[in-house]
């Protein structure tokens, strides 16, 4: 079990997003460049170091769905915009979540989202952990374009998992669009399966969106519940 997971388990809590991103990096799951800022000045400095534009996301154990409480700001392209976004996030989260403990704000490089997919895991009472893949972003609830596989899986299983969804047609490229990196998607699924198998205390995992690019993929949001 990874030390970050062991630490969170010992403290009877879920992983904070910076911890989830560190865990992903340990399993070769690509994530955007990021820094955790604990003051407005740190956020502006981090943004300048990472390069504009950036995304700001609140880090709080009480906030799972950050967008619902005004905890996310995107497309920030100046230090002034970052400072203003910091204030907006703090005011909004404190106003919407009583007693929220805020560990800081995650400053992330903004990744262009060619195609938004979702990769998740839930535990079935009978069969154990099952991976889910499909179209992500705003289309998850609307289209319910997902496929499932119970772990463990082979690379062939992961490939089939993608091919069973409408997302596969977009990955292949339609109507003159450039094809996306199918191999990187399959690699991501396999590495995620390994992460889950080696950290059995993970009860739920949610990556939405998973940006699928012409070259590579990137986990733009991470939720890991123990």
Q: What is the CATH number of the domain that holds 58?
A: 3.30.1490.20
Question: In terms of domains, do 136 and 219 share one?
Answer: yes
Successive 10-residue mean pLDDT values, the chain, 226 residues: 95 95 98 97 97 96 89 96 96 89 96 90 92 82 82 97 94 86 98 97 95 96 94
Question: In terms of domains, do 149 and 90 share one?
Answer: no
Question: In terms of domains, do 139 and 210 share one?
Answer: yes
Q: Which of 109, 124, 155 is the last residue of a domain?
A: 109
The DSSP secondary-structure symbol of 41 reads H
The answer to whether residue 27 is domain-embedded is no
The answer to whether residue 25 is domain-embedded is no
Q: Are 193 and 207 in contact (CB under 8 A)?
A: no
pLDDT for 64: 83
Question: In terms of domains, do 124 and 104 share one?
Answer: no
pLDDT for 78: 96
Question: In terms of domains, do 121 and 213 share one?
Answer: yes
Mark residue 49 as left, alpha or beta (left: phi above 0; alpha: psi -120 to 50; beta: remaining): alpha
Q: Are 103 and 60 in contact (CB under 8 A)?
A: yes
pLDDT for 45: 96
Rounded Cα distance, 208 and 46, in Å: 24
SS3 132: strand
Mark residue 148 as left, alpha or beta (left: phi above 0; alpha: psi -120 to 50; beta: remaining): beta
Question: In terms of domains, do 98 and 123 share one?
Answer: no
Question: In terms of domains, do 136 and 180 share one?
Answer: yes
pLDDT for 176: 74
The answer to whether residue 100 is domain-embedded is yes
pLDDT for 139: 62
Q: Which of 94, 109, 124 is the last residue of a domain?
A: 109
Q: What are the Cα distances from residue 96, in Å, to 14, 68, 90, 99, 221?
A: 21, 9, 10, 9, 21
pLDDT for 226: 95
Question: In terms of domains, do 94 and 138 share one?
Answer: no
Rounded Cα distance, 57 and 48, in Å: 16
pLDDT for 140: 66
Structural domain count, the chain: 2
The answer to whether residue 21 is domain-embedded is no
| All residues at 6 or more sequence positions from 45 whose CB lies less than 8 Å from its CB, including other chains | 37
pLDDT for 141: 64
The answer to whether residue 155 is domain-embedded is yes
Q: Which domain holds residue 209?
A: 115-225
pLDDT for 91: 93
Q: Are 52 and 77 in contact (CB under 8 A)?
A: yes
Question: In terms of domains, do 166 and 120 share one?
Answer: yes
Q: Are 57 and 70 in contact (CB under 8 A)?
A: no
Question: In terms of domains, do 91 and 66 share one?
Answer: yes
pLDDT for 125: 86
Q: What is the DSSP string of 138-179?
A: THHHHH--EEEEESS--HHHHHHHHHTSTHHHHHH--TTPPP
Question: In terms of domains, do 218 and 184 share one?
Answer: yes
CATH assignment at residue 160: 3.30.470.20
């Amino acid at each position: 079990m990874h030390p970050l997971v062991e630490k969170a388990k010992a403290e009877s809590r879920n992983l904070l997003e910076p911890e989830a991103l560190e865990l992903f990096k340990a399993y070769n799951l690509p994530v955007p460049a990021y820094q955790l800022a604990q003051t407005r000045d740190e956020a502006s400095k981090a943004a300048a170091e990472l390069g504009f534009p950036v995304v700001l996301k609140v880090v709080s154990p009480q906030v799972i769905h950050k967008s619902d409480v005004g905890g996310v700001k995107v497309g920030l392209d100046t230090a002034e915009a970052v400072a203003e976004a910091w204030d907006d996030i703090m005011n909004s989260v404190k106003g919407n979540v009583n007693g929220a403990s805020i560990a800081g704000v995650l400053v992330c490089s903004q990744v262009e989202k060619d195609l938004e997919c979702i990769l998740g895991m839930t535990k079935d009472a009978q069969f154990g952990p099952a991976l889910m893949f499909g179209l992500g972003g705003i289309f998850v609830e609307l289209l319910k374009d997902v496929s499932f596989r119970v772990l463990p899986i082979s690379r062939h299983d992961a490939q089939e998992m993608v091919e069973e969804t409408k997302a596969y047609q977009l990955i292949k490229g339609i109507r003159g669009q450039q094809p996306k990196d199918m191999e990187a998607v399959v690699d991501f699924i396999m590495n995620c399966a390994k992460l889950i198998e080696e950290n059995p205390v993970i009860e739920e995992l949610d990556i939405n969106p998973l940006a699928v690019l012409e070259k590579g993929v990137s986990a733009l949001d991470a939720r890991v519940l123990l």
